[in-house]
Amino acid sequence: MDAQRELLCCMFTFDVPTTTHVCYETIFGRDLAPHTIQHLQRLSMSNSQMKIILESHNQCRYIRPVVQDYLMRLCALKQSLKRAQHDGYAVRVASSPQFSWTSALEEKDAFHVDHSYSNPTISFQLVQTLFTFAVAGNANDAPRMLWDALSIDEKNFNDIVTEVKSRLLTAAGILQYIIKDILPQWKARPGADSAGGGGNAAAAAATAAGPTPGRPRSTTARTTTTSTATRVSIPLECCPKFLEALSFMFEAQAYQVNVALTARNSTKKEVLARICLGITKRYQQALAALNTTDPNGLLLIDRVRPSLRMYVSFLPSFLLCSSSS
């Protein structure tokens, strides 16, 4: 049973995405009211702090507040631009922004380098920041807290399981929010102005060239040639089915640790078996989502890192064995 608990507490640790610094006051120019410049400077400073923390690969408790502060300021900017657009004000953009992020989940290139993606829209920046908040700020707490599950006494284990479930379900909820509320505003269409729905006025900086779809550092075998244009692959973090797969995985893990808590002392084997089957179904749903294609026709499961692919493929088999034992 100890071995079973240890395996049930085996959580996947995600790499931490990294980003580049964005100077917002240069995007909108300095010919603004002093209080507006101050708000933009604070946003730039918050972005810089987030960049430093992410590059340091700190634990979730350090990443979470910094990313949360940046999200709050970024959402405030987006809402201000949306109000300005609604009220008929023209927002002058001095220089085109480029929001750049590395992918923490996409398979690395031939030189073992992370793929990097850039886009000029605030919606893209919001998707990437929310994804980082979900994965690096919440989900990664699970493996850290359960790294030595067998040495934790029952009383403390109960508290830890409660916290781990909260973090994982929060991460799943954030990903669902991205799918339903943010991604519909972001359309990576070559040659079209992607203003992020109604309110990404900052995307006006890209009006001349249109929005740039996700651009990997190495584009070999990652472009799809059509009769009209060459489409560059969209970041995994911007693929709804991929986010759906991760959401299913986080939900499965949340209830997985609950089974680990009750399995040792529970005599209701039938109940535990049904719970394990329910968790298995979640992993199977995650696998089904990963076996769909991205907008360019590439299988999502072929794009993810082998470690994640193996984890999602292995857990359902183990849980089925646990439910029958």
| Listed residue (52, 76, 93) closest to 201, CA to CA | 93
Each residue's pLDDT tens digit, 176-193:
999 999 999 886 544 333
Report the pLDDT averaged over residues 239-243.
95
Half-sphere exposure of 113 (CA within 13 A, CB side): 10
Instruction: Evaluate if pTM is beyond 0.85.
Output: no
Selection from 106-120, 178-192, 287-301 with the highest mean pLDDT: 287-301
For the chain, which domains are there? Answer: 2-11+18-324 (1.25.40.280)
Q: Count the residues in the chain.
A: 325
| Listed residue (250, 231, 233, 232) closest to 289, CA to CA | 250
> By the 8 A CB rule, do 304 and 106 touch?
yes
- Is residue 232 predicted with pLDDT exceeding 80? no
Q: At CB < 8 A and 24+ separation, what contacts does 180-183 make?
A: 182/123, 182/126, 182/127, 182/130, 183/127, 183/238, 183/240, 183/243
